[in-house]
Structure 1
């Protein structure tokens, strides 16, 4: 049974080589994610991860990929034993691999799900993954916060991400299940489906620590749940 669950965002800015001119500005998000990933690695060397990508549903494991599509050829692997190179690994898989390497875990198997996956299917996947030891949940909040918003700012972004923040901070699976997929899509909150997978993992849970940052108009949630 899963006894440790970690929620992190998956922006490219976590990788210092991709933001050479803004390493200091991105450090708070990076540090929070790495601390959570190291907590997960201390609990288990082998992870299961859930990320959101239009190529889903599919599972990616045992591969090496690159961030070349984001500007720099930084190579990362999903396992210490990875030998197969996939140049088109989706961003959630790349970030999962980067976190695995920096946290010192042995492997991560990534379940990619489409952004429009219905809530019931998300919850069912969480129940299906319950036999794993450690779960990494990857996804961003709304990208419509304030003047730095991608596209146009939206006044609904703040209350939406505040609801997510409260749900993660209190390990409230029911509140995560109640998130509106249509509203999340309008706000660019791609993490909605992944968070609702987390809501399907059998508990009870308590939150060991959580934080929320939105330094660049995007909401970034980090949380550590323990059984």
Structure 2
């Protein structure tokens, strides 16, 4: 059963070593993520699943101990998913799960078994929701750290340029996260999300499946678009 969830954006710029001089611009988002992940750890799950954007159109799992690296962003910084011996069969975490591992490493109360699930952008919503339902049945107390960004088309200088549909899309997601509305998340327009370069669509829909019938309450902790990309932080419990 799903008992809690933390929803965070996953730009590598959340990591201060990568952001360098721009680190203060995401200070509020970083603090909100720390609050959400802290609440997640306090829920005392017996299984913690980190869900984030993947590299392909399929769902991929990563065991505890899988390493991630931020070398591709110009920083000699490595992370590991949870505790325990190195694992992963030589695979490394995709960037979203690496950000999730970094967030978890900053919380000293999280001793639950951890695993990762990466969701490719082309993964259908129905498959995402089904995966969420499977995950919630895997243990008595499941918690999820869900990583993903909103639209990358909020301003002229955004990665996807300006699209008038971007801000309303992100506003709808923000309302759904604040209300823990699984129906609204499950019904997100997949084609529009792809056009707006929304990396969180798949992970959010995995959460939608996992949280069906769980009667969780939601709180929106942060909403902004400092680089023309929608960043949202929420806590469900």
Short-chain TM bin: over 0.9
**TM-score normalized with structure 1 length:** 0.93
Structure 1 match to 2:170: 161
Residue 137 of structure 1, aligned match among 120, 132, 146: 146
Q: CA contact under 8 A between 2:152 and 2:161: conserved in structure 1? A: no
Aligned to 2:226: 215
Counterparts of 1:182-197 in structure 2, within 5 Å, are 182-197=191-206
Secondary structure class of the residue paired with 2:227: coil
Question: What is residue 120 of structure 2 aligned with on the other side?
Answer: 114
Instruction: State yes or no: 1:76 paired with 2:79.
Output: yes
RMSD: 1.7
Contact 1:16 1:23 in 2 (8 A): yes
Kindly indicate whether the alpha-carbon contact (under 8 Å) linking 2:160 and 2:197 is maintained by their aligned counterparts in 1.
no
DSSP 3-state at the match of 2:97 = helix
Give 5+ residue unaligned stretches, structure 2.
Answer: none
Tell me if the contact between 1:143 and 1:217 (Cα under 8 Å) persists in the aligned partners.
yes
Per-residue CA distance 1:34-89 (angstroms, 9 max, x = gap):
11111111223651111121244211122222211111011111122132485742
- For residues 145-188 of structure 1, the C-alpha deviation after alignment (integer angstroms, 9 at most, x for no partner) is 12331132101000000000011111111111111000000000
- The TM-score normalised by the length of structure 2 is 0.89
Structure 1 unmatched runs, 5+? none
Q: Distance in 2 between matches of 1:214 and 1:152?
A: 13
1:99, distance to aligned residue in structure 2 (A): 1.0
Question: Is the aligned partner of 1:123 residue 2:129?
Answer: yes
